[in-house]
């Protein structure tokens, strides 16, 4: 029978969690300039066990962030450049016919690039829906099915997908079902003048910084297990429920902005992601319990891609974050 950890053991575990998170953040920061919220959001998703959608114009370091994270972890890394002609087999792998020493032929599964701990799905919205659906199964089930046989993916398994919000020519917008599988959607902004200057210093000199491994996959899984143990009071849990329900225009608690601009609100996965992100934040803040402010801070990243704006919202250029801000203010 498992025994509950003592207070001293729990304190040591929490201190180690914060120290390892800081080491990983610092190692990524040796390469990535600025983008603090993006780095923290990506690391939070990694610990919580979710996937990340990075949205930003080209050249802002989205691909570099994913490469750097993989280098800072002792895990395998795969990259797929999504294009309209990319087939599901190019992503997950395929059965090939091989001949043994006796001349007998047999089928053998050759793994695709998706069989990695960290997968970069670059410009994910350029692939056809058929290929996107293959990625969907992997993200949700942590496995792929080829030729009627299911193959498990390594653990931890993290998909970091990038997309360009400006260029729509030749793209296939991600369906709502796939968007819902992303733990967070992070918006990569243009760097400040100071950050841009530091980027030039780091990338135009002789010695280009490179991240070294500081954690391995087993440690990430242990941190994930500890984060899930963080208790959440019923009152705080009910706040997560209330925030999620308030994103639905037909619910009585929905603020006016939701009723006016939102067509569909968040799924239950939004509430799950909010709570898990809040648990990670609580540990980083030195607590072993979730506060309502943890939920409020997590809400934009976990909900912005789960709100489907209606025609009026799109016509007026309303941002999902503005609607979420009204949701958070309601009921406070």
Q: Which residue has the higher pLDDT, 153 or 4?
A: 153
Within-domain flag for 128? yes
Overall domain count for the chain: 2
pLDDT reading at 1 higher than 60? no
Residue 299 has pLDDT above 70, yes or no: yes
Q: Average the pLDDT over 266-286 and give the result.
A: 94
Structural domain including 55 reads: 1-84+112-206+213-229
pLDDT at 332 over 70: no
Residue 98 lies in a domain: no
Give me the residues paired with residue 30 across strands.
none
Confidence of residue 168 (pLDDT cuts 50, 70, 90): low
Task: For 254, list phi and psi in degrees, rounded to 5.
Answer: -65, 130
Of 86-100, 167-181, 207-221, 314-328, minimum mean pLDDT range: 167-181
Percent of the chain with pLDDT over 70: 96
Please check whether residue 216 is in contact with residue 154, taking contact to mean a CB–CB distance below 8 angstroms.
no
Q: 88 falls in which pLDDT band (50, 70, 90)?
A: confident
Structural domain includes residue 89:
no
Instruction: Tell me whether residue 104 is in a domain.
Output: no
CATH code of residue 19: 3.40.50.300
pLDDT digits (tens, 9 = 90+) for 14-47: 999 999 999 999 998 888 887 788 889 999 999 9
| Residue 93, domain member (yes or no) | no
Amino acid 331: pLDDT: 65
Radius of gyration of the chain (CA): 21
Same domain, 37 and 155: yes
Span 170-179, mean pLDDT? 76
CA distances (Å), 189 to each of 24, 97, 196, 284, in order? Answer: 22, 47, 12, 24
Do residues 164 and 199 share a domain?
yes
Same domain, 191 and 58: yes
In this structure, the answer to whether residues 129 and 167 fall within a common structural domain is yes
CB 56 within 8 A of CB 34: no
- Residue 135 sits in the same domain as residue 256: no
Do 29 and 41 fall into the same domain? yes
Do 236 and 199 share a structural domain?
no
Which of 196, 229, 262 is a domain's end point? 229
Handedness of CA 6, 10, 16, 19 (dihedral sign): negative
Q: What is the distance between the alpha carbons of residues 220 and 226, in angstroms, rounded to a whole number?
A: 10
Q: For residue range 210-260, what is the model confidence (pLDDT) as tens digits?
A: 888 889 889 999 999 999 999 999 999 999 999 999 999 999 998 999 999
Question: Looking at the DSSP assignment, which residues form a beta bridge with residue 52?
Answer: 160, 184
Residue showing tokens 């991240």: 211
Domain shared by 187 and 256, yes or no: no
Q: Would you state the pLDDT for residue 176?
A: 80
pLDDT, tens digit, for every residue of 215-228? 988 999 999 999 99
Averaged pLDDT, 265-276? 94
Same-domain status, 12 and 152: yes
Are residues 262 and 199 part of one domain? no
Q: Is the same domain home to 246 and 184?
A: no
Alpha-carbon span 325 to 332, nearest angstrom: 12
Average pLDDT, the chain: 86
Task: Output the pTM of the full model.
Answer: 0.89
Residue 109 pLDDT level (bands cut at 50, 70, 90): confident
Which of 195, 229, 263 is the endpoint of a domain?
Answer: 229
281 domain residue, yes or no: yes
Does residue 209 or residue 277 have the better pLDDT?
Answer: 277
CB 207 within 8 A of CB 254: no
Does 100 map to a domain?
A: no
Contact 240, 298 (CB under 8 A): no
Strand order in the sheet with 182-187: 77-81, 118-122, 158-163, 51-55, 182-187
Whether residues 241 and 220 fall in one domain: no
Q: Is residue 149 part of a domain?
A: yes
Measured CA distances, 198 to 26, 69, 134, 206 (Å) = 16, 20, 39, 14
The answer to whether the beta carbons of residues 120 and 63 sit under 8 Å apart is yes
Is the pLDDT reported for residue 147 higher than 80?
Answer: no
Query: Of residues 206 and 238, which shows the higher confidence score?
Result: 238
Q: Which of 120, 269, 57, 261 is nearest to 184 (CA)?
A: 269
Q: Within 13 Å and on the Cβ side, how many CA atoms surround 81? A: 0
């Amino acid at each position: 029978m498992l025994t509950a950890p003592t207070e001293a053991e729990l304190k040591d575990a929490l201190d180690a969690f914060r120290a390892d998170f800081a080491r990983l953040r610092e190692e990524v920061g040796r390469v990535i300039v600025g983008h603090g919220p993006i780095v923290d959001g990506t690391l939070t998703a990694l610990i919580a066990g979710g996937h990340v959608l990075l949205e930003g114009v080209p050249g802002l370091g989205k691909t570099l962030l994913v490469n750097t994270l993989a280098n800072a972890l002792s895990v395998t890394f795969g990259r797929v450049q999504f294009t309209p002609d990319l087939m599901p087999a190019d992503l997950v792998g395929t059965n090939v016919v091989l001949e043994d020493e006796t001349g007998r032929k047999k089928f053998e599964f050759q793994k695709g690039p998706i069989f990695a701990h960290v997968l970069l799905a670059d410009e994910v919205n350029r692939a056809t829906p058929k290929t996107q659906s293959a990625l969907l199964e992997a993200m949700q089930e942590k496995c792929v099915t080829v030729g009627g046989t299911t193959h498990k993916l390594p653990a931890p398994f993290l998909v970091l997908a990038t997309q360009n919000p400006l260029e729509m020519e030749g793209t296939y917008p991600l369906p709502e079902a796939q968007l819902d599988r992303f733990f967070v959607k992070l918006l990569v902004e243009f760097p400040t003048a100071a950050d841009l200057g530091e980027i030039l210093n780091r990338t135009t000199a002789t010695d280009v910084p490179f991240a070294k491994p500081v954690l391995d996959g087993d440690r990430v899984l242990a941190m994930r297990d500890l984060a899930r143990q963080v208790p959440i009071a019923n009152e705080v849990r009910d706040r997560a429920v209330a925030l999620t329900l308030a994103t639905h225009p037909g619910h009585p608690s929905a603020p006016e902005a939701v009723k006016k601009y939102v067509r569909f609100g968040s799924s239950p996965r939004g509430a799950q992601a909010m709570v898990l992100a809040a648990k990670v934040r609580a540990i980083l803040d030195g607590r072993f319990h979730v506060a309502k402010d943890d939920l409020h801070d997590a809400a934009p990243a976990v909900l912005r891609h789960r709100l489907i704006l209606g025609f009026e919202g799109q016509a007026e250029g309303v941002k999902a974050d503005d609607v979420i801000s009204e949701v958070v203010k309601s009921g406070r």
